[in-house]
Structure 1
Amino acid sequence: MTAVPYRRRRRTPIVAVVAVLAVIAAVTWTVVLVGASGPSGPQSCPTPAAGTAPGATLESGALDAVVPAPPAAIPVRVFNAGGQRGQANLVAAQLDDLGFGSAGPPDNDPFFPDGDMECVGQVRFGPAGESAASTLSLVLPCAELVRDERADDTVDVAVGTGFGDVNPPRPVRDVLETLGAPSPADDGEAGAPAAVDPAALTEARDTTPC
Structure 2
Amino acid sequence: MSYVREDGLAQARRRRKRRSIIVLIIAAALVVGAFAYALGYINTSGSSDPAASSCAVTTTSPPQSIFVLNVYNASSDTGVANRTATAMESHGFNIGTISNDPYKESLSGAGQIRFGPKGKKNAVEFVKKYLPGAQLVQDGRTDDSVDLVLGDDAPVIKSAPPTTATPPPGCDNVVQ
Name the aligned partner's letter for residue 146 of structure 1: V
Q: Deviations over 1:169-204 (max 9, x none)?
A: xxxx8xxxxxxxxxxxxxxxxxxxxxxxxxxxxxxx
Report matched runs for 1:145-156 at 5 Å: 145-156=136-147
How far 1:127 sits from its partner (Å)? 0.3
Name the aligned partner's letter for residue 156 of structure 1: D
How far 1:83 sits from its partner (Å)? 2.2
Q: What residue is the counterpart of 1:165 in the other structure?
A: 156
Provide the rounded CA distance (Å) in 2 between the counterparts of 1:74 and 1:167: 21
Q: Deviations over 1:146-174 (max 9, x none)?
A: 11110011100000011121149xxxx8x
Name the aligned partner's letter for residue 104 of structure 2: F
TM-score (norm 1): 0.44
Provide the rounded CA distance (Å) in 1 between the counterparts of 2:67 and 2:132: 17
Q: What residue is the counterpart of 2:69 in the other structure?
A: 76
RMSD: 2.1
Q: Confirm or deny that 1:119 pairs with 2:106.
A: no
The runs of 5 or more residues in structure 1 that have no matched partner are 1-68, 174-210
Name the aligned partner's letter for residue 155 of structure 2: G
Provide the rounded CA distance (Å) in 2 between the counterparts of 1:130 and 1:83: 28
Q: Deviations over 1:46-71 (max 9, x none)?
A: xxxxxxxxxxxxxxxxxxxxxxx811
Q: Confirm or deny that 1:109 pairs with 2:96.
A: no
CA contact (8 A) 2:110 2:131 kept: no
SS at match of 1:103: strand
Provide the rounded CA distance (Å) in 2 between the counterparts of 1:132 and 1:74: 8
Name the aligned partner's letter for residue 114 of structure 2: R
Identity value in percent: 34
Provide the rounded CA distance (Å) in 2 between the counterparts of 1:167 and 1:133: 19
Q: What residue is the counterpart of 1:129 in the other structure?
A: 119
How far 1:89 sits from its partner (Å)? 0.4
Q: Deviations over 1:63-120 (max 9, x none)?
A: xxxxxx811112100111002111100010010010001222x11102235xx31110
CA contact (8 A) 2:131 2:154 kept: no
Q: Deviations over 1:127-146 (max 9, x none)?
A: 01012102111222111111
Provide the rounded CA distance (Å) in 1 between the counterparts of 2:134 and 2:117: 18
Provide the rounded CA distance (Å) in 2 between the counterparts of 1:164 and 1:91: 10
Name the aligned partner's letter for residue 116 of structure 2: G
SS at match of 1:82: coil
Provide the rounded CA distance (Å) in 1 between the counterparts of 2:96 and 2:118: 15
Name the aligned partner's letter for residue 95 of structure 1: M
The runs of 5 or more residues in structure 2 that have no matched partner are 1-61, 161-176
Q: How many residues align?
A: 99
TM-score (norm 2): 0.52
SS at match of 2:156: coil
